[in-house]
């Protein structure tokens, strides 16, 4: 713009005859003191006089970021938890919000490059590409799984797709490739929009793939609510996580969401085929042994690989948590879609729980008024016999991913009837053929395995004290049962064998961990300490926490001792323990000849500090966490949302005011307003000078009555003088306002 104005003014100054008359008239009207109109005057007009105000560009991404993306997400969560049963029909307004796209870009970049990208560090070109992707999604120009045409690329993707050879293009189009960066962005935006809608509607009986809930929550719920149950049905519905028909998923989604744009996007993600390379047709390359293997150097923007201890702990994942759903191009949306489909099963089971409940008057522990959801106090031991016609009939249910656990208190015939109904429901709703073998009915005495923990019944003999007729106190030994949640040592051995840490079943023998052969002793010990800390946290709520963690510590310590014996040629574990101590904290590699002790080298800073292995003794392992679990438990973020909505409701303020008035109390706000009003009302009636004079008369009368002055009189005079100054200042402020 400035360049065009400069060229035009140069032509005007060169030939004054082309000056338009309208421009000269305009300048003469704006500047009546001008002596004449010439080229220089017109230059001043075009250079310094704004002819129009600049309109903000609607396509500029900087003008679209009006709010913070986190505040937009918070607003969505509050709206959905305020009205959890409403039918959502307009989500395109949130899909247009550019703040959500920027927030999705930050989250996906954190996964891609391994570091968080602040909003101010995003380049303008990346914002323009992100805006182009948003417009393509809104205009139905976006295609899932595109491999050569991108609206936006990953920051670490430096490939020039226009200059690729035909062979590389064919390899990209026919072989398995990771999900494109732009697909992950669209998935993240859809997840941010849909997750608050369904989290406000989901059942409290499901715990997998949801924020604030994990496997520990399931174990605590089982310990709290499943005490006293005799029969258990353990079901595996994990085939649902492999995928359902598109019609079933869309119908489950449209129960609560009726936005066409969002439904079409998810439907296209499910329908678009995923290109995978055939396994049989791949050419088998001969493995060649390399004499010298170069150490891989990571790029600046390349994330570091997961540490060994984290990969090892992932190998300990229980059977119920191993499978993660992945449907088509949905990516991170797949777990949410799986929960949406299985939520119908949760609601059906909640209805069965209410219909099955039959209280008994003689069963005081389980009996509660009006058939509430949480009946009785299950922290007390349940006395035998635990079944019969005079006992309470009750049932409970939890679901973790595709695995369900049902506890039944009553005869086995009721459990068989429920199993038959469950098979029919899954056949009609999900088109999955289940049988009695996939839904076994097991008694509590056999032990039920769930999340690598065994649920069993422990017999206790409490002392019962009661008052008999005549006031005599009688103490008797009773028999009761408690629910025990115990970590499975057999399953722990199986996981260690899978990771090549040991061999053998009856007498497990630790095997050397050769993967850490080239690492230093300090680094190896630090990695295994982190793994042990994670294991201690995983078995936090197991009754045998000390025993199972002590076994893990023994296996890892023996594995490292064998590794060090092979690495430093010490021949046996006993020699390793003799040099490196019980916790392997002393250095095993020593120089030839006489060398100073390790403590002297450590004090001088010439030796590397080595942390010994943790939990080498059972007394160092923490106790089992028996913290009481609330009956109607909710995650912290849901409790904060519900409390915020309750306080934001005008009815809550009215109820608080009504309660204060009924009790004859005054709120602090009303008390302060009453004080201010009294001050203003008194200022109108009484003049400032008269008030000061009245205070002065009081002080003079006080002096006349008591002629002899002492210390008390002097102090009272000082107080009166200070009160005069204080009153005058208050009146000055009131009159000023």
Helices 333-356 and 412-429 meet at what angle, rounded to 10? 140
Report the candidate in 582, 521, 526, 514 with the shortest Cα–Cα distance to residue 554. Answer: 582
pLDDT (average), residues 204-208: 93
Distance CA 256, CA 258 (A): 7
579-602 pLDDT, tens digit per residue, is: 888 999 888 875 443 445 666 666
Residue 669 pLDDT level (bands cut at 50, 70, 90): confident
Report the candidate in 68, 122, 117 with the shortest Cα–Cα distance to residue 97. Answer: 68
Mean per-residue pLDDT of the chain: 79
239-260 pLDDT, tens digit per residue, is: 888 888 999 999 999 999 999 9
Model confidence at 284: pLDDT above 60: no
400-412 pLDDT, tens digit per residue, is: 999 999 999 888 9
Residue 673 pLDDT level (bands cut at 50, 70, 90): confident
Q: Contact at 8 Å (CB) between 112 and 140?
A: no
Model confidence at 384: pLDDT above 90: no
613-643 pLDDT, tens digit per residue, is: 999 999 999 999 999 888 889 999 999 999 9
Rounded to 5°, angle at Cα 349 from 343 and 352? 150
How many helices (H) and strands (E) the chain has is answered by 26, 12
pLDDT for the residue 480: 72
Model confidence at 712: pLDDT above 90: no
Report the candidate in 447, 553, 452 with the shortest Cα–Cα distance to residue 494. Answer: 452
pLDDT for the residue 343: 94
Distance CA 25, CA 41 (A): 11
Report the candidate in 453, 637, 634, 635 with the shortest Cα–Cα distance to residue 540. Answer: 453
Which DSSP helix (H) or strand (E) runs through 383? Answer: strand 382-383
Q: Which residues contact 11 (CB under 8 A, 6 or more apart)?
A: 18
pLDDT (average), residues 51-68: 67
Model confidence at 8: pLDDT above 50: no
pLDDT for the residue 558: 93
Classify residue 158 as exposed, middle or buried by CB count within 10 Å of its CB (0-12, 13-18, 19+).
exposed
pLDDT for the residue 704: 47
Residue 502, both tokens? 């040991």
Per residue in 611-621, is it b (16+ CB within 10 Å) or e — as a string? eebbbbeeeeb
pLDDT for the residue 711: 53
Distance CA 307, CA 315 (A): 13
Beta strand pairing status for 441-443 and 403-409? unpaired
Q: Contact at 8 Å (CB) between 554 and 335?
A: no
pLDDT for the residue 321: 86
Distance CA 669, CA 672 (A): 5
pLDDT (average), residues 298-316: 73
| More confident position, 105 or 177 | 105
The residue assigned the tokens 């008694």 is 443
Distance CA 528, CA 153 (A): 38
What are the DSSP calls for 495-510, one per residue? HHHHTTSEE-SSS-EE
**DSSP SS3 for 345:** helix
Rounded to 5°, angle at Cα 118 from 114 and 119? 135
Residue 718 pLDDT level (bands cut at 50, 70, 90): low
pLDDT (average), residues 606-615: 79
Residue 377 pLDDT level (bands cut at 50, 70, 90): very low
Share of the chain above pLDDT 70, in %: 74
| More confident position, 187 or 362 | 187
Model confidence at 85: pLDDT above 80: yes
**DSSP SS3 for 164:** coil
Distance CA 350, CA 342 (A): 13
Rounded to 5°, angle at Cα 383 from 377 and 385? 125
Model confidence at 15: pLDDT above 70: no
pLDDT for the residue 387: 53
What's the length of the chain? Answer: 737
pLDDT for the residue 278: 67
pLDDT for the residue 731: 54
pLDDT for the residue 603: 67
């Amino acid at each position: 713009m400035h360049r065009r104005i400069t060229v035009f003014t140069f032509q005007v100054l060169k030939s004054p005859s082309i000056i338009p008359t309208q421009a000269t008239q305009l300048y003469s009207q704006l500047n009546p003191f001008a002596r004449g109109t010439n080229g220089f005057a017109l230059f001043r007009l075009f250079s310094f006089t704004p002819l129009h105000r600049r309109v903000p560009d609607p396509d500029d991404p900087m003008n679209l970021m009006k709010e913070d993306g986190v505040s937009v997400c918070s607003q969505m969560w509050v709206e959905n938890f305020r009205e959890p049963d409403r039918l959502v029909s307009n989500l395109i307004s949130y899909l247009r919000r550019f703040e959500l796209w920027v927030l999705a870009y930050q989250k996906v970049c954190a996964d891609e490059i391994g570091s968080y990208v602040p909003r101010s560090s995003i380049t303008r070109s990346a914002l323009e590409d992100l805006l182009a992707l948003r417009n393509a999604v809104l205009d139905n120009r976006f295609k899932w799984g595109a491999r050569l045409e991108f609206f936006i690329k990953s920051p670490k993707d430096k490939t020039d797709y226009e200059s690729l050879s035909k062979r590389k293009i064919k390899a990209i189009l026919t072989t398995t490739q990771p999900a494109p960066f732009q697909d992950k962005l669209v998935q993240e935006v859809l997840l941010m929009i849909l997750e608050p809608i369904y989290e406000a509607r989901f059942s409290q009986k499901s715990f997998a793939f949801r924020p604030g809930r994990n496997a520990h929550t399931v174990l605590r719920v089982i310990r709290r609510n499943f005490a006293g149950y005799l029969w258990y049905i353990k079901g595996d519905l994990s085939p649902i996580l492999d995928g359902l028909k598109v019609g079933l998923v869309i119908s489950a989604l449209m129960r609560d969401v009726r936005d066409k744009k969002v439904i079409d996007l998810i439907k296209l993600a499910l329908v678009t085929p995923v290109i995978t390379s055939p396994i049989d047709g791949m050419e088998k390359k001969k493995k060649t042994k390399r004499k010298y293997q170069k150490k891989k150097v990571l790029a600046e923007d390349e994330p570091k690989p997961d540490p060994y201890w984290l990969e090892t702990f992932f190998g300990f994942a229980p059977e119920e948590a191993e499978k993660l759903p992945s449907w088509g191009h949905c990516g991170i949306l797949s777990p949410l879609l799986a929960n949406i489909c299985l939520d119908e099963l949760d609601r059906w089971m909640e209805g069965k729980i209410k219909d099955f409940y039959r209280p008994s008057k003689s069963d005081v522990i389980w009996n509660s008024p009006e058939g509430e959801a949480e009946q009785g106090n299950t922290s007390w031991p349940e006395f035998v016999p635990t079944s019969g016609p005079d006992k309470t009939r009750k049932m409970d249910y939890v679901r973790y991913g595709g695995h369900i656990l049902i506890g039944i208190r009553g005869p086995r015939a009721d459990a068989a009837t429920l199993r038959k109904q469950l098979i029919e429901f899954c056949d009609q709703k999900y088109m999955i053929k289940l049988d009695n073998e996939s839904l076994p009915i097991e008694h509590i005495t056999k032990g039920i395995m769930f999340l690598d923990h065994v649920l069993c019944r422990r017999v206790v003999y409490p002392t019962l004290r009661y008052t008999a007729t005549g006031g005599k106190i009688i103490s008797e030994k009773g028999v009761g049962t408690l629910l025990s949640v115990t970590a499975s040592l057999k399953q722990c051995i199986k996981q260690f064998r899978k990771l090549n840490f040991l061999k053998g079943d009856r007498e497990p023998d630790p095997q050397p961990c050769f993967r850490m052969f080239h690492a230093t002793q300090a680094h190896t010990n630090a990695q295994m300490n982190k793994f042990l800390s994670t294991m201690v946290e995983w078995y936090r709520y197991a009754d045998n926490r000390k025993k199972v963690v002590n076994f893990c510590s023994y296996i890892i310590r023996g594995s490292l001792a064998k590794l060090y014996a092979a690495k430093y040629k010490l021949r046996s574990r006993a020699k390793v323990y003799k040099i490196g101590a019980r916790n392997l904290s002393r250095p095993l590699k020593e120089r030839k000849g006489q060398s100073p002790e390790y403590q002297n080298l450590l004090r001088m800073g010439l030796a590397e500090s080595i942390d010994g292995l943790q939990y080498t003794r059972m007394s160092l392992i923490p106790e089992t966490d028996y913290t009481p679990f609330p009956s109607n438990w909710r995650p912290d973020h849901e409790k904060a949302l519900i409390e915020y909505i309750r306080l934001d409701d005008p009815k809550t303020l009215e109820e608080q005011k009504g309660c204060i008035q009924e009790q004859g109390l005054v709120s602090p706000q009303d008390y302060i307003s009453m004080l201010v009003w009294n001050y203003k009302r008194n200022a109108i009636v009484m003049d400032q000078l008269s008030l000061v004079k009245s205070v002065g008369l009081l002080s003079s009368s006080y002096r006349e009555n008591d002629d002899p002055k002492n210390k008390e009189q002097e102090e009272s005079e000082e107080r009166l003088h200070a009160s005069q100054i204080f009153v005058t200042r208050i009146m000055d402020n009131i009159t000023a306002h």
